[in-house]
Amino acid sequence: MISNAEEGFKNYQMLYHMGVHLIFLNEPLINTSVFDSTRSNLLKVDISTGDTAVDTFFKGNIDLINNFMMALAEEQIKAAFDQAEKEVTDLHSRISQGIKEARKNGT
């Protein structure tokens, strides 16, 4: 079981690098297909100009964009986990309050 957002993201990364396609019904922006489509479009760009300095520059920029996309996915995944954790905490609180109220009313 995943205990926090950081662990959830590490699992996301591990599964992504293993080639597992992840789909989140409530958070479609963090589906691995979104990251894959952006990354594959970047990889299709022909950066071979024949000039080593220019090619290195473009490859570095593509790497930066890929890193940015993964960092963005990390933020979104952590936000989704934080929201889910808040919902569970709120649910536990409401259940506890309901039980206290029921006991007070003799049920």
What's the pLDDT at 44?
Answer: 64
First to last CA, the chain: 35
Helix and strand element counts for the chain (H, E): 3, 0
Hunting for tokens 């009313």 — which residue is that?
105
pTM for this one?
Answer: 0.62
What's the pLDDT at 100?
Answer: 93
What's the pLDDT at 90?
Answer: 93
Which long-range contacts link 52-56 to residues 24+ away (Cβ below 8 Å)? Answer: none
> pLDDT tens, position by position, for the chain (107 residues)?
566 778 888 888 888 889 888 888 877 777 888 777 766 666 666 678 889 998 899 888 888 887 888 888 888 888 888 888 888 899 999 999 999 999 998 87
